[in-house]
Chain A
Amino acid sequence: MVGKGFVSVLLLFLFLASLAYLHTVSVSSQDVFTGVCVYSSSSFSVLSNGSSEITVGKELEVGRVYTLFGRLRGSRMDVSRVERSSPDFPLEKVEGFYWVSGGCYLLTEGARIKLGFCLNVSKGSMLSARGIFHGRKFYPVEYRQGRVSSSFREGLPVVVEGVVMYSGKRTILWNGTSEIVLYLPHGFKLTPGKRVRVLGLARFYSIPSLLVGSKGDVHVLGYATERPIGSAKVGEIGRGLCRVISRNGKGLKLDCFDKPLIGFMARVGDEVAFRALVRRGSLLCLSCEVVGHREDLPNSICGGEGVVRVYGGVEWVKVYRNGFGLANVSFDDCWILLKLRKSLKVSLRANETVTAYGRFTLYRGMPALEIDSGEDICSGKC
């Protein structure tokens, strides 16, 4: 009679021997698959090598290449070992610009390739990638990052640096040679005079334009270069101290610059200290202040240059049929004719005292004063 203990030991021995044999079979008959992880969840992952795909019940990292060892059961593999590895399958090469907008893409001329996962590279930079296509997505395995393009190509990313010239309905940037329209994200505004670096997608409408996807694509670098107004060029900030010589709907005409100053109000004859952005057709006030009031100007009835203040008593007034009038104003031994256009809507009477601001001119060879508006003439010493 064989003892129970002996049978138990024998069974255990036989079991261990068979287990060892099964292990050898398992190792020698293992299936191996190398592929890129194209999907991963907490319960399973999918790997592809571009031509076939395998599902494994493990959580892997999307975009990494793994070699699986185990047992293939159809398109599923029971894995015994997973190793990070290098691709042993053919990779496709794709070149384009990395772009992030509701997903990550590679933008090429004429194509927008969706990436299976986002990369740790700068948005807009040139990317030369090798990887596999799985479905409609591209899964890069290796990539080399280049620079962000600074030349305009339709539909492709470009980075532009320049000064904000206009904001509001349209934001216009001056890059030193030309204007570029920026289409900024909704509700996002830029202040004129700021130097910015903007990344966007190039579009050629009537003028070169840039579609800016997010606020993060706009970097404010500071203000534009600042110079004395005489030497300031378009896209620069000019600073100066000038007198207002006329005022019209376009802005203030200054005695020191040929373009009107807009965005600021002052009276003819006032002296203005300003910092203004030089645009192609105007000066946009960034910070302006009246530093010399016109009331402080001396009485220049006897002669002067530029905008002058004239004060004196009205000797006589003559109004023509067309509404144009002349008033002779004298002070001490000097006199001058005030040209009173009908549009000034001013009427003077003899013996009145009057103060007027304007520029010297001639009327039929006689000294006269050209006045821009009714606000530049008043009765009394004002």
Chain B
Amino acid sequence: MFREMLMGVVLGTFTGIMPGIHVNTLGEIWKGNPVTLFSMGLTHTFLDVVPTTFLGVPDEGTALSVLPAHRLAQRGRAMEVVRIALWASAMAVLLSFPLSIFYVKLATHYSPWIGRVAVGILVVLLVVFSGKNWPRTLLIIVLSGLLGLVVFSLPLTHQYYLLFTGLFGIPSVVGGIRGEAPYGEDASIRMRTTSFLVYSSLGTLVGMAASLLPAFTPSQGAVLVSFLSREERPFLVALFSINTSNFMFSFFNYLATGRVRNGIVARMPPLSWSAVHFYLVLSLSLSILILLYGEHLSLFLLRLLGRIPYAHLNGVVLLFLLILALFFDGVLGVFVLLSSALLGIFSLLIGAPRRACMGVLMVPLLVG
């Protein structure tokens, strides 16, 4: 059992720190037992902060964190972002213990229309909260929505990678070619503990809700949180908690109802709710383990990346992302990646909020 857990930690660490490699990608190849898969998925949610912050390459769960995380990193607070992510994720694991009791009762009462209504409200909020910027927000929602509708009907295997890397990652990487490299080894969190706890709890609850509603993704949950705080740190705390909490509760949902809410649990054999205690203990052990080495590993990577000229690094990352798209989905994949990137850069140029690009998921859902 310990061996399976360690195997999961190693694999999850790999997918977490590697830009563009989602945990589901490895999950498709790696037919491990449920302990390995669970450990891999949870470790990934702790460590996917690394490519997001250091390289500006997010995945589905951390898409909206790219700008604030990258911005903080370029102001010399790179390790603070890493610590925020690690502790916000650990908090989500801890809070999932008591919430799991209520969750099992809620999980059996979901309906897809609730997800649609929630997303519909979210779109309205997105536009309304943009103030004078609402026409640009609406334009990006519509354009990204059209992109989502088209891409989801294409013969692709890694649409999420292509869309999110294109919309959020490539604009950051391209911007980084002439920008400043992330730095900052001071990991102290410049935020009050109570504020950290409040936003982490909020993020955990949103992540829980997102796992209940099949249509409601962690990124959409992050959009919701973005209305609550315009500051970088509270937003990042909430977002990283959402990411981990969503994984935890998707797993609980699978135990309670058998419904598959993420790519990792889809590869697990049927498990009963009685296994929840074992997995809660496992998640606690994993959290402690990742907290022990996560920062050191991130610091090592930060120092390593610091030795490479940042413009060259971003050029290499960009090339790597394109090769990955080619590997996943061939020329069509590269084309989709570049099309998404065009929209991502366009949204930056016209000054629309990045969260408007979440229309890529919201519009297809609303259209049905």
A71 and B152 form a contact (CB under 8 A): yes
CA distance A8 to B347 in the complex (A): 9
Number of chain A residues close to chain B: CB under 8 A: 25
Of the 9-residue stretches A9-17, A158-166, A215-223, which lies at the interface with chain B?
A: A9-17
Does A134 lie at the interface of the complex (its beta carbon under 8 Å from any beta carbon of B)? no
Whole-angstrom distance between the Cβ of A298 and the nearest chain B Cβ: 87
Instruction: Give A5-61 interface residues, CB cut-off 8 Å to B.
Output: 7-8, 11-12, 14-15, 18-19, 21-23, 25-26, 29-31, 42-43, 58
Whole-angstrom distance between the Cβ of A55 and the nearest chain B Cβ: 11
Decide yes or no: A58 and B368 within 8 Å by CB, A11-B342, A11-B349 being known contacts: yes
CA distance A268 to B330 in the complex (A): 107
Does B74 lie at the interface of the complex (its beta carbon under 8 Å from any beta carbon of A)? no
Chain A residues with CB below 8 A from B349, complex form: 4, 7-8, 11
Picked from A18, A29, A30, the residue with its CB within 8 Å of the CB of B339 is A18
The contact string, 1 if C-beta is below 8 Å from chain A, for chain B 138-182, is 000001001101111111110000000000000000000000000
Whole-angstrom distance between the Cβ of B77 and the nearest chain A Cβ: 29
Does A347 lie at the interface of the complex (its beta carbon under 8 Å from any beta carbon of B)? no
Picked from B112, B154, B345, the residue with its CB within 8 Å of the CB of A26 is B154
Decide yes or no: A43 and B150 within 8 Å by CB, A11-B345, A58-B368 being known contacts: no
Chain A residues with CB below 8 A from B157, complex form: 73
Does B82 lie at the interface of the complex (its beta carbon under 8 Å from any beta carbon of A)? no
Chain B residues with CB below 8 A from A58, complex form: 368
A15 and B155 form a contact (CB under 8 A): no
B367 to A, closest residue via Cβ: A80
B155 and A19 form a contact (CB under 8 A): no
B146 and A29 form a contact (CB under 8 A): no
Picked from A19, A43, A71, the residue with its CB within 8 Å of the CB of B147 is A19
Chain A residues with CB below 8 A from B149, complex form: 80
Whole-angstrom distance between the Cβ of A381 and the nearest chain B Cβ: 87
Picked from A8, A12, A22, the residue with its CB within 8 Å of the CB of B154 is A22
Does A70 lie at the interface of the complex (its beta carbon under 8 Å from any beta carbon of B)? yes
Does A370 lie at the interface of the complex (its beta carbon under 8 Å from any beta carbon of B)? no
Decide yes or no: A30 and B153 within 8 Å by CB, A7-B349, A8-B346, A11-B349 being known contacts: yes
Whole-angstrom distance between the Cβ of B166 and the nearest chain A Cβ: 11
Decide yes or no: A22 and B339 within 8 Å by CB, A29-B155, A58-B368, A71-B154 being known contacts: yes
A18 to B, closest residue via Cβ: B339
Decide yes or no: A15 and B214 within 8 Å by CB, A8-B346, A8-B350, A58-B368 being known contacts: no
Does A154 lie at the interface of the complex (its beta carbon under 8 Å from any beta carbon of B)? no
Is chain B's binding surface mostly helix, strand, loop or mixed? Answer: helix
B345 to A, closest residue via Cβ: A11
Residue picked from A15, A26, A43, A70, most chain B C-beta under 10 Å = A15
Chain A residues with CB below 8 A from B338, complex form: 18
Chain A residues with CB below 8 A from B345, complex form: 11
CA distance A25 to B150 in the complex (A): 9
B111 and A42 form a contact (CB under 8 A): yes
CA distance A58 to B113 in the complex (A): 11
CA distance A31 to B150 in the complex (A): 14
Does B336 lie at the interface of the complex (its beta carbon under 8 Å from any beta carbon of A)? yes
Is chain A's binding surface mostly helix, strand, loop or mixed? Answer: helix
CA distance A58 to B116 in the complex (A): 13
Does B335 lie at the interface of the complex (its beta carbon under 8 Å from any beta carbon of A)? yes
B339 and A19 form a contact (CB under 8 A): yes
CA distance A14 to B340 in the complex (A): 11
Picked from B153, B156, B343, the residue with its CB within 8 Å of the CB of A80 is B153
Does A78 lie at the interface of the complex (its beta carbon under 8 Å from any beta carbon of B)? yes
A11 and B112 form a contact (CB under 8 A): no
The contact string, 1 if C-beta is below 8 Å from chain A, for chain B 186-223, is 00000000000000000000000000001000000000
CA distance A19 to B336 in the complex (A): 9
Instruction: Give A47-93 interface residues, CB cut-off 8 Å to B.
Output: 58, 70-71, 73, 78, 80
A70 to B, closest residue via Cβ: B153
Does B332 lie at the interface of the complex (its beta carbon under 8 Å from any beta carbon of A)? yes
Decide yes or no: A43 and B112 within 8 Å by CB, A11-B349, A15-B339, A18-B335 being known contacts: yes
CA distance A22 to B143 in the complex (A): 13
Decide yes or no: A19 and B152 within 8 Å by CB, A8-B346, A11-B342 being known contacts: no
B214 and A43 form a contact (CB under 8 A): yes
CA distance A12 to B348 in the complex (A): 12
Chain B residues with CB below 8 A from A22, complex form: 150-151, 154, 335-336, 339
B152 and A11 form a contact (CB under 8 A): no
Picked from A8, A19, A26, the residue with its CB within 8 Å of the CB of B153 is A26
A21 to B, closest residue via Cβ: B335
The contact string, 1 if C-beta is below 8 Å from chain A, for chain B 96-131, is 000000000000000111000000000000000000
Chain A residues with CB below 8 A from B342, complex form: 11, 14-15, 18
CA distance A71 to B332 in the complex (A): 15
Whole-angstrom distance between the Cβ of B49 and the nearest chain A Cβ: 29
Chain B residues with CB below 8 A from A71, complex form: 152-156
CA distance A71 to B146 in the complex (A): 17
CA distance A113 to B345 in the complex (A): 60
Whole-angstrom distance between the Cβ of A333 and the nearest chain B Cβ: 102
CA distance A23 to B214 in the complex (A): 26
Decide yes or no: A12 and B346 within 8 Å by CB, A19-B146, A22-B336 being known contacts: yes
A24 to B, closest residue via Cβ: B150
Whole-angstrom distance between the Cβ of A8 and the nearest chain B Cβ: 5
CA distance A22 to B350 in the complex (A): 24
Closest 3 A/B residue pairs (Cβ): A18-B339, A11-B346, A15-B342
Known: A14-B342, A18-B338, A43-B112. 12 other contacts (CB 8 A): A11-B342, A15-B346, A19-B143, A19-B147, A25-B154, A25-B332, A26-B153, A29-B155, A42-B111, A42-B112, A71-B153, A71-B156
Interface residues of B (CB under 8 A from A): 111-113, 143, 146-147, 149-157, 214, 332, 335-336, 338-339, 342-343, 345-346, 349-350, 368
User: What would 12 A/B residue contacts be, using CB atoms closer than 8 Å?
Assistant: A11-B345, A12-B346, A15-B339, A15-B346, A19-B150, A25-B154, A26-B150, A42-B111, A43-B112, A43-B214, A71-B153, A78-B152
